[in-house]
Amino acid sequence: MEGPSTNNALSSMAKDGNFPAVYPVGPLLNLAGGGKIFDKKNRDRILEWLDAQEAAESVVFLCFGNLGSFGAEQVKEIALGLEESGVKFLWALRKPPPEGKVSTPGEFTDPQEILLEGFLSRIGARGLVCGWAPQAEILAHRAIRGFVSHCGWNSILEALLFGVPIAAWPMYAEQQANAFYLVEDLKLAAGLKMNYSLGQMDLVTAREIQNAVELLMNGADDEVVKMRARVGEIKKMARAAVGEDGASSQAVGRLMSDMCRK
């Protein structure tokens, strides 16, 4: 997927004889849903809820990757922020691994064990709290308007491919750098909690979450409108790149031709 800055970099490398040939390919995505596509019961529950939303682009999706989970204090802040926002939401809430144990998050038997008392009753049909979620299918759904994300690279690519603006909440690994590039450089996302110091996990307050969700879903100021327009343009570029005659397909063709000549 090429843009102005990418084209400039590629042109610079092509003119410098010290660089080997570069073949820009992508975006490369696994849209089948990953290794847990067999969780059909949960998938069907989520998609049925989304299908029941009468208005298009009316739901914000919160999901934080395969390793994303929060302790009780942060979960309560998220819940309060969503409740106060009044926005429809789908929240992929994962259970943290036991303290001191390195493993992937699990699933809550009953999310009420960590949520605010009475939260699910108060929000009613306005929101759905789930565990694992088929992220690509959800982002492709007509009901989704915004995505609160940890800014893992696959999540960013999926969101852009389906034209869904992001509220960036980076947590670990390369996510701070991804979020900075997305928010500050490309202007394709809004910053929810922009702490670029690795390992720093400050509590994100309910008000911060509420403000970010409301901005993402209902923001009408000039910058938000421009951000949505840019995301729409990137969606078109991404789909064109991986099309039959797109830049990515052509690059793969050049790679194959060059390999056959050697």
**pTM given for the model:** 0.88
Which residue do the tokens 């309560």 mark? 76
pLDDT digits (tens, 9 = 90+) for 137-165: 999 999 999 999 999 999 999 999 999 99
pLDDT of 1 = 47
pLDDT of 20 = 81
| CATH T-level fold of 37-248 | Rossmann fold (3.40.50)
Q: Are 240 and 248 within 8 A, CB to CB?
A: no
Sign of CA dihedral 233, 5, 245, 251: negative
pLDDT of 212 = 95
| Closest-CA residue to 149 (of 213, 76, 79, 222) | 213
Taking 70 as the pLDDT cut, the residues of the chain under it are 1-8, 13-17, 31-38, 194-201, 262
pLDDT of 169 = 94
Indicate the domain borders of the chain. 37-248
First to last CA, the chain: 27
